[in-house]
Structure formats: C-alpha cells, structure tokens
Structure 1
Amino acid sequence: MKTKQASVIKILFAGTIILTFLWALFHGTNDFGLVKSNLLTFISIFSTLCAVPLIVNHLFDRGDYLHEITKILLYVFIIQSIIQLIAFVYPPFSAIINIFKKDIINNRDFQGIRSLALTGNPFFTLSSAYGLMFINYFYLFSNKKIKYPVIIFILLLVGSFFAGRTAFVGLIIGVVSYFTYSIGSFKKMFFSVISISFYILITSIITYIVYLFLIPQSILVIVDEKLLPFALEFYYKFQETGKLTTKSTDVLSKMYFEISMDTLLFGDGKYFNNDGSYYMYTDAGYMRNILFYGVLGFFYIVFAQVLILKKTLRSKIDFSSKLFLLFTLFYFFILHYKGEVLMSMPILQSILVLYSLNYLFIKDK
C-alpha cells in the first residue's frame, strides 16, 4: 500500500528496530534479542499494509471503513472461539490443532483448557486480542452495526475463558466506552442503560439454560473444576480472601522494583540474561522497556505509538469513532503494564494500523 500514512508507519516501526540495535551497541551489551522481536512486528505490519487493498476490495460490505474492518475482525475471533469450543469438547479436533503449534505451547495447555486456539501464541497475546474485540463489540453495538449481539457476545466470552483473564480488562473498558458514546444525550444514555440491561438478562438466561441442560456431564465436570476456577480465579479468590487478586497479579506486583538513576534515564541495553531468561527476571512491559531503553529511549516508543493514530484522530470522524480509537489506545497502555504491547505484539499493532488508515476512506476529509 503506497500512501503517506503507510510510509510513516513503516518508518516508525523501522525506527524501533534501529533504536533497539543502536541502544545495544551504545551500552556494549550486543544483546540484539529484542531486535528479532521488533523485526517480526515490522514484517507483520508490512504484510498488513499489503493486505488492506485486498480486504477493502473483496471483504467489505457497504458501509464506512472503521465499521467494516471492526466487523471483519470480530467475526475472525468468533471463528476462533468456535475452534476453541470444539477443541475443548472434542479432543481429536484439539489434536489436529496442536499439529500447527510448537511443543512448548502444547505442553502448557493447563490440563486441556488452554492452548486450544489456532494461533502461535494462545496466552497473553490471544487474551489481549480478545480484550480488544470486546471494545470492538461495544463500538459496533452502540452504532447498531452488529447482528445477533447476544450470540456474538457469548461466543466472545467463551473464547476469552479459554484465552485468559486479560481479556476481561478489554471487557471492562468496552462497557465503559459503551456508556461514554452516549455522553451529551440523556435520551441516548437512558436507552443505552435499558438496552445493555436487557441483553445482560437475555445472555444470563441463555448461558444458564446451556449450562444446566445442554452441556454433557463429562464436560460439565471439567468446566466446574478447571475452566471456571481458572477464568474466574479473581472471583474465587475474592470469596476466599476478600481480595480481587490472582496468582498472575501477585507475581506481576513483584515485577516492578527500584533501579538506579542511570538505568532509569538511559537503560542498560539488555533484554536477556545469560541463561536466556528476561533481564532482571521481569516480563512487565514498562519495566522491560525502561531496563533496556531508559526513559529517554522509551519516549520514542510512546511517541511512535500515539503518532500512528494521529492522522485518523485529526480527520473528520464521528464522536463515537474518535472515542473508540482513544479507548483502544488507552487499552494498549493499560496492557503494557503486564507485558510488552506498545510498538510490539504484532497482532495488536496490525489491528491498530488497520484502524489508522480510516482517514483514507472518509469523504471530504
């Protein structure tokens, strides 16, 4: 795709690669492990830009670009949810899915309730993407651009249960965004509350009926003893201890610690320890960036991430679309607290790039 915005995007991601390479040289560590990750993200972005004309010409229905692209992405993840659901209830299908994944991933299936999706990274990356789909869902729902909303929501929720709890962060942001779209209109806000209350009631009834009468007893045991305790660990912990915590949040709280002023400003230019583990044994996004780049280098990461959406945010888009993009960007910054997302994580960056091209399809822009 040859546009000024596409060129800017390529330059920004190429700049991340160059910055990482130079930072390792500057510190004399010659630790170029992060360069490989940056290169993978760049290739994904480049492929996405090449695919945009094909997507627009062959997959779009009538409608504006942002609505159409979010619908396509939502349907992709609905298919992913169906794949996970089939793999969960029918092990031979799961065995077929495992053929396409590395053994190290298959060995981390958490007793058959994870690693069921057709993806190379069925953990933090997949759950993060599902969280973004919840934000997509409520954006489309608020604009009345989604059919069979109850079924779609249930499938998204089921897929998230298998993918990971991170998706619930997107669910919360999605719900908040849904009501924010109605700001300024009491009538619209009132009907938003009535509408979502109705759909929550219908979703609960359908889920309850399926749970009681349609799930085989053998599967029900696994759901009760494994899937729900994993997906809703924070709820179970709250019942036991009165605190909304999980093993993951307990571990994450230890991933942030004090560092020297030199490291804070300039980083150490290290991404891996000698044993192959992450430097300083932390995989928290902000911490890993600061340890490698320092604040000065990290500023580029933040600047580049925001700049990707600048063109579309400044174009003539409607209020809800602008808010949707801002909530998406906010979601990225929230997720980065847990793991590397900003200017990394190919799937989320590719989706953001797709959103950033919205301005090209606005009339009288």
Structure 2
Amino acid sequence: MSSLTIYILLFFSVFSIRVPFFYNSTVLAFIILSFLLLFLNTRKLVINFGIFKSKIFILLFPLYCLLFLFCFIFPYYHDTNDYSKHWALLSQVFSIITIYLLAQLANKKINDDLVYFSAKAIFVIYTIQAFFVLICFLFPSVNELMEIFRSPDGTQYDSFGRYEGVKRLSLSGGQYFTLSASWVMSFIITSFYFKENKTTPLLIITFLIAFLFAGVSAGRIVFLGFFFSIFFLAKDLFVRRVLVTILACFMMSITFFYLFSSYTDNFNRYINFAFELYYNWKQHGNMSSESTDILKSMYFTIDLDTFLFGHGRYMQDNGLYYLNTDAGYLRMILFYGIFGLLLNIVIDLIKLYLITVYSGYRLNFVAILLGASLFLIHVKGETFNHIVSVQAILYWLLFSCYFYNKRERIIIKEKEL
C-alpha cells in the first residue's frame, strides 16, 4: 500500500466532501479504513488500542466528558433546551476516530519518520486543494460541477454575487471561514515540511504564493498563515537569504493580478476581495472591510452573570446564531460562560503540548504558532475545539507523533539490549 492511499484518505477526512450515499467523505474514509484494518489482515486485529493508556486519553477524555456535561447543564440550568452544540461535538468525535485509524494505518504501512510524514501529508493534500481551486477559478464550468461536492449552506455570504467566481472554489464540504482557518494551519505545518525537506527557495516561493492564492479564495484570514509561514522560515538560516525574495515575489504576484484585472472579471473581483482593506484605506483613509465591520458589530457588552454562566443558548429558533453573533469568544461565552470557553481553550492547548512532547520537541515552534493562530482566528469565529477540519489536522499531527514516539522508544529499548 503506497503513501498515496494515506494522502487520499487524509484529504477525505480533512475536507469532508459531500459524497452521495455516504453523507460526506469522512464517513467514506472511515468505512475504507475499517475495511483495511479489520478485514485485509485475517490473522489478527490490527487496530491498536494502546491509545487508551496514553496521555492523550488520560488528559483529554475527562475534559471531553466535562464539555459534554457542560452542553447539557447550561441549557438545562437556563431552561432553553438548546442542545444543538452536541452535534458539533459528535461530528468531531467521529472525525477523531477516523483520523486515529488513518494514523494507525500510516504507522503500519509507512516506514518514514512519522513526524516528517505527517507534515508532508498536510503539504500534499493542500497542494491538491490549491490545484482544484486554480482549475475552478480558470474554468467556471468545472466550478459548477464541483458544487455537488460542497455543502449547500454558506451561500448567503455572497448573496449579491460580488465575488462569484472568486469564492467557493474549493473541493471541500465546508467553505469560507472553516476552510480558511484550516488553510492557516496548513501554512505553518507546510513550513516545517519545507525546513525538514530542505526545499529549494524557488519551490518555497512557488508553493507559498499558490497556497496564498487558493487560501484567500476561502477567506482573507489566510494572510495570517502566510505571514506566520514567513516568520517560521525566517527563523532558519537556510532560508533567511530568500526572505526578501519571497516578499518581492509576493509583491510581483500582486502586480501580476492587478495587470490582469483589466482583462478578466474574475481577476478584478479577486483583487477587490483579497485587498479590500488596502482599497478602502486608499479611497477612504481607513483600514476596514465588510468583514471587519460585521465582526465589530458582533462583539457587544454583556453583564457579569452572562460572562460567568452564559445564556445556555447556541442557536435561535429560526436557525440563526444566537443574538446574531458568530464571533468566537462571545458565542462560546453566551452559551456556557467563561468556564466553557476556557475548557475549550485548555483542550486544544493540551493537544499542542502533547504534539510537542510526542514529537521529541521537534514541533515545538510549530505548536507555538498553531496556538497563536487559534487565539487570533477565534476572534472571528469559533475555532478552539470546534472546526472539524482544524481538529482533524491537530489530531493527525497528535496521533502521528504518538506513533512516532512509540517507534522511538522501541528503538531505544532495542539499543539497550
């Protein structure tokens, strides 16, 4: 079994593409993985249950149980009977199981360094995604065909068609914010892969620009990942000499798209969307966009009782966000107060800590940047322990590092003997 199988299944698990008869590609990946692990090896069951004795289970399982309990207690306490938050958690649990099975398969079939391979796999699946975005951008007819693989929700974000042909281009179930958040993660992890692989400066520049173009089609927050990536790469001597070149190429790409905007409507809309902050500053003297204006309106003052205990409401009866806000920090506080927010943050920070430990501290800087990005992205929308694609990436790293650590301990024991 080649690494290609792992890449395809990881692509399915992270992007949750809509698949007829299977709900989405995560479910399909789970079925395929179960078949591969349970039935292709007739001599023994090859699923490793040692995870239940690990720090991952010991530290995270009680916190997830507490989080599920919070999701019952606060709606019950406030007599709202709003238990919709459970669906997001249950989706995440299913994704975690699928990713664990995939990491188990990689441990069995991949002989490479699993820390390196996990980063390489993220690079590969986002390179594939960038290719799909480019194809859909250049060929609108292909983009229309891809709609069958995307979730129908979220079209309200572009109800006036101003960004038609620019947004909603990815081969992914979720679009917009959830996808752009995972793109930020991919930039950071891919930078580690570039460093480990000693990728040439020219290829680094090429892929960073390609990822930026594809990612921004989901959301401008992807610029955060681009700048984190530059910061990561600048840390290492072997790429410091190309930092100026990267920035120069970035400016060249802006110039390229600007020139083409005179000829192609899609390029014009892309530039207007990607650099709306700049255009507003140039025309009106303020650094703002439609998204930042909406975000400001979604944060408002609350009383101490709400801050501590929330309202026990996650969704309104009409299906919209409670109090019409989806701002990450406020929305969690409105549901289960500051304690629920802190619990979600702690859960993700423990994941990052375990990634650092199990990787032999090779991913310590990656974990720091991932943590910083989570805090920043959560300002815009729920990210901590919420977005399934982001959690799939974090757990892919975590489980891969877990199996890497087990391999290393076996090697050490064999050397001692």
What is the rounded CA distance, in whole Å, between the counterparts of 2:350 and 2:192 in structure 1? 22
Q: Residue 254 of structure 1: CA displacement?
A: 1.8
C-alpha distance 106-93 of structure 1, shift in aligned 2 (>3 A): farther
- Look up the equivalent residue of 2:225 and give its one-letter code: G
1:7 correspondence with 2:57: yes
C-alpha distance 275-316 of structure 1, shift in aligned 2 (>3 A): closer
Q: Which residue of 2 aligns with 1:327?
A: 369
1:347 correspondence with 2:389: yes
Structure 2 contact 359–404 (Cα < 8 Å) conserved: no
Structure 1 contact 87–93 (Cα < 8 Å) conserved: yes
TM-score calculated relative to the size of structure 2: 0.76
Q: What is the aligned length?
A: 350
Q: Which residue of 2 aligns with 1:275?
A: 318
Farther off after superposition, 270-279 or 287-296: 270-279
Q: Which residue of 2 aligns with 1:52?
A: 103
Q: Residue 353 of structure 1: CA displacement?
A: 1.3
Q: Residue 256 of structure 1: CA displacement?
A: 1.4
1:214-235, CA deviations, whole angstroms, 9 ceiling, x for partnerless residues?
x7986x33202x1110111112
Structure 1 contact 141–149 (Cα < 8 Å) conserved: yes
Q: Residue 209 of structure 1: CA displacement?
A: 6.6
- Look up the equivalent residue of 1:72 and give its one-letter code: A
Q: Which residue of 2 aligns with 1:43?
A: 94
Q: Which residue of 2 aligns with 1:221?
A: 265
Aligned match for 1:84, one of 127, 133, 138 = 133
Please show how residues 206-355 of structure 1 align to structure 2 within 5 Å: 220-224=264-268, 226-315=269-358, 317-318=360-361, 321-355=363-397
Partner of 1:99, secondary structure, is helix
C-alpha distance 54-29 of structure 1, shift in aligned 2 (>3 A): same
C-alpha distance 150-296 of structure 1, shift in aligned 2 (>3 A): closer
What is the rounded CA distance, in whole Å, between the counterparts of 2:371 and 2:57 in structure 1? 21
Farther off after superposition, 130-139 or 191-200: 191-200
What is the rounded CA distance, in whole Å, between the counterparts of 1:55 and 1:84 in structure 2? 27
Aligned match for 1:68, one of 117, 120, 125 = 117
Q: Which residue of 1 aligns with 2:207?
A: 152
Structure 1 contact 285–340 (Cα < 8 Å) conserved: yes
What is the rounded CA distance, in whole Å, between the counterparts of 2:359 and 2:134 in structure 1? 41
Please show how residues 86-105 of structure 1 align to structure 2 within 5 Å: 86-105=135-154
Could you say what the CA RMSD is over the residues aligned between the two structures, in angstroms? 2.6
Q: Which residue of 2 aligns with 1:196?
A: 243
What is the rounded CA distance, in whole Å, between the counterparts of 1:339 and 1:33 in structure 2? 17
Aligned match for 2:79, one of 28, 34, 49 = 28
Structure 2 contact 358–404 (Cα < 8 Å) conserved: no
What is the rounded CA distance, in whole Å, between the counterparts of 2:393 and 2:152 in structure 1? 28
What is the rounded CA distance, in whole Å, between the counterparts of 1:199 and 1:310 in structure 2? 31
- Structure 1: gaps (5+ residues): 183-187
Q: Residue 52 of structure 1: CA displacement?
A: 0.8
Identity rate, percent: 25
Structure 1 contact 41–346 (Cα < 8 Å) conserved: yes
Q: Residue 210 of structure 1: CA displacement?
A: 8.5
Partner of 1:163, secondary structure, is coil
What is the rounded CA distance, in whole Å, between the counterparts of 2:187 and 2:305 in structure 1? 40
Q: Residue 349 of structure 1: CA displacement?
A: 0.9
Q: Residue 202 of structure 1: CA displacement?
A: 5.1
1:19 correspondence with 2:70: yes
